[in-house]
């Protein structure tokens, strides 16, 4: 049974007109980009010949083979179950990226040598800074959301000014202002606490709106019912409102955490030994920048995948609870 917002894609890819149209589009796009000078073109040369020698026919032959291969791939995986399709496409895209990286002539022994230090020092610091920042940002967001929903003009004004200011400035500027500005008024702060404070204040402003929308999604009758049985504001929020708002709050909050994990690289500008700082520093010593940048990128990606899996499990848990 199909849901209203789904499309019968497995049926669509087996239509002759769809296959013909797909082949025409792919053929035109690949021909326009002229892949004879890329790694894909190089992979096809042993089979077809050197396009430089065969001229325009070589270009057409390479493009034709690539288009046919891609279209067959799209059509054939349509017969497989959804999970198999996803696994196949992920594997193919991963192999494509690996083939692209091989064109950089990377030094794999150098990457293997530096990887343990990147993980134990850089990745650990990145996760440490991000984890503390998301906890503080969540606490700020709850207070900000309550203030923005309040009928107290003073509280609303402070919360709205805070969200407007910290959402309006680039995070990098906030890092500099906190690290270099606070000592000007007598508060000397180290690099790591400055980075945590900047991330917390910036993402707390964004998450304030997330928590506000989650709290507003709960019917106002819940508040009135809790007051009628003598519950105070704190008990009502902790026992009634927030548990019901969590299914709305968790997905965007998980996205904010993944975003924060990557934006934590900005605190490298003030000397925090996080992942990006070490990747740049180690790469500069031997002029092997691409090796370290690609290593850091893969580590960021792996951690992000782990966070996505955790987020999906939490979402499924609350979805089952809602059904019950």
Domains of the chain: 9-102 (no CATH), 108-323 (1.10.3720.10)
3-state DSSP assignment of residue 151: coil
Segment 194-246, tens digit of pLDDT? 999 999 999 999 999 999 998 888 888 888 888 888 887 778 888 888 888 88
CA angle 106/109/112 to nearest 5° reads 100
Gap between the Cα atoms of 173 and 159, Å rounded: 21
Q: Does residue 108 carry a pLDDT above 50?
A: yes
Gap between the Cα atoms of 203 and 129, Å rounded: 13
Of 45 and 241, which is predicted with more confidence? 241
Of 306 and 240, which is predicted with more confidence? 306
3-state DSSP assignment of residue 279: helix
Q: Does residue 3 carry a pLDDT above 50?
A: no
Confidence of residue 27 (pLDDT cuts 50, 70, 90): low
Of 322 and 38, which is predicted with more confidence? 322
Confidence of residue 263 (pLDDT cuts 50, 70, 90): very high
DSSP class per residue in 194-215: HHHHHHHHHHHHHHHHHHHHHH
Q: How confident is the model at residue 135, as a pLDDT? A: 94
Confidence of residue 23 (pLDDT cuts 50, 70, 90): low
Q: Return the percentage of the chain with pLDDT > 90, whole number.
A: 35
Annotate 75-90 with b (16+ C-beta within 10 A) or e (fewer): bebeeeeeeebeeeee
Q: Provide mean pLDDT across the span 100-123.
A: 87
Q: How confident is the model at residue 46, as a pLDDT? A: 43
Segment 129-171, tens digit of pLDDT? 999 999 999 999 999 999 998 888 899 999 999 999 999 999 9
Q: Tokens at residue 302, please?
A: 């792996």
Gap between the Cα atoms of 303 and 103, Å rounded: 26
Q: Does residue 270 carry a pLDDT above 80?
A: yes
Segment 79-88, tens digit of pLDDT? 778 888 888 8
Q: How confident is the model at residue 18, as a pLDDT? A: 59
Longest dimension (CA), the chain: 87
This prediction has a pTM of 0.75
Confidence of residue 54 (pLDDT cuts 50, 70, 90): very low
Q: Does residue 59 carry a pLDDT above 80?
A: no
User: What integer best gives the mean pLDDT of the chain?
Assistant: 81
Residue 140 to residues 2, 26, 135, 211, Cα–Cα distance (Å): 42, 49, 9, 10
Least confident of 41-50, 54-63, 192-201, 205-214: 41-50
Q: Could you give the dihedral angle defined by the CA atoms of residues 299, 301, 302 and 306, in that order, rounded to the nearest 10 degrees?
A: 130
């Amino acid at each position: 049974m199909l849901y209203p917002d789904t499309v019968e894609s497995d049926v669509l890819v087996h239509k002759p007109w769809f296959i013909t149209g797909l082949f025409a589009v792919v053929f035109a796009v690949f021909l326009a980009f002229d892949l004879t000078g890329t790694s894909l073109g190089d992979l096809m040369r042993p089979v077809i010949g050197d396009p430089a020698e065969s001229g325009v026919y070589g270009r057409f032959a390479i493009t034709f083979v690539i288009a046919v291969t891609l279209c067959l791939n799209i059509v054939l995986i349509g017969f497989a179950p959804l999970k198999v399709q996803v696994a196949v496409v992920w594997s193919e895209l991963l192999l494509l990226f690996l083939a692209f990286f091989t064109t950089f002539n990377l030094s794999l022994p150098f990457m293997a040598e530096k990887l343990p230090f990147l993980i134990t020092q850089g990745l650990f610091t990145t996760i440490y800074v991000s984890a503390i920042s998301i906890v503080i940002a969540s606490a700020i967001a709850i207070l900000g959301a309550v203030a923005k929903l309040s009928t107290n003009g003073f509280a609303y004004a402070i919360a709205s000014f805070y969200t407007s200011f910290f959402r309006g400035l680039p995070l990098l500027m906030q890092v500099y202002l906190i690290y270099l500005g606070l000592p000007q008024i007598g508060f000397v702060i180290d690099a790591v606490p400055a980075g945590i404070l900047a991330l917390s204040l910036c993402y707390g402003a964004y998450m304030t709106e997330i928590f506000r929308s989650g709290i507003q999604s709960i019917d106002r009758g819940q508040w009135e019912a809790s007051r009628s049985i003598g519950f105070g504001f704190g008990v009502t929020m902790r026992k009634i409102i927030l548990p019901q708002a969590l299914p709305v709050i968790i997905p965007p909050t998980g996205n904010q955490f993944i975003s924060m994990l990557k934006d934590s690289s900005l605190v490298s500008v003030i000397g925090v030994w996080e992942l990006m700082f070490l990747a740049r520093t180690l790469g500069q010593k031997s002029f092997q920048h691409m090796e370290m940048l690609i290593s850091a990128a893969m580590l960021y990606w792996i951690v992000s995948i782990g966070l996505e899996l955790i987020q999906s499990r939490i979402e499924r848990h609350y979805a089952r609870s809602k059904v019950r």
